[in-house]
């Protein structure tokens, strides 16, 4: 489960067996978890995050989308 980035309390990662799915990123904070598609950026699922925090997370995904896509493509193209 490669961790791509950490911002404050958030860990951005993907699972190593997810190459059959479109590019996406998981975000974890404590027992909260969210998943965002990257092309285009959209919330795929969420567990325990409040709506206002999800809006903040979506903005972080938009701001770091290129980094996430580069990590995804680099990991799954090898």
User: What length does the chain have?
Assistant: 78
Residue 31 above 70 pLDDT?
Answer: yes
The residue-averaged pLDDT of 21-28 equals: 97
- Which of 17, 14, 20, 19 has the alpha carbon at shortest distance from 33? 14
Q: What is the pTM of this model?
A: 0.95
Instruction: Identify the domain containing residue 22 by its residue range.
Output: 3-76
Q: What is the pLDDT of residue 1?
A: 78
Domains: count for the chain:
1
Q: Find the angle CA(61)-CA(63)-CA(54) to the nearest 5 degrees.
A: 35
Q: Find the angle CA(74)-CA(45)-CA(21) to the nearest 5 degrees.
A: 35
The predicted-structure confidence for 38-69, as pLDDT tens digits, reads as follows 999 999 999 999 999 999 999 999 999 999 99
46 near 37, Cβ under 8 Å?
no
């Amino acid at each position: 489960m490669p961790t791509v980035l950490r911002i404050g309390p958030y860990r951005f990662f993907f699972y190593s067996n997810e190459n059959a799915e479109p590019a996406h990123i998981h975000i974890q904070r404590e027992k909260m978890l969210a998943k965002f598609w990257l092309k285009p950026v959209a919330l795929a699922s969420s567990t325990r995050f409040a709506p206002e925090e999800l809006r903040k997370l979506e903005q972080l995904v938009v701001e770091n989308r290129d980094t996430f896509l580069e990590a995804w493509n680099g990991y799954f193209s090898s």
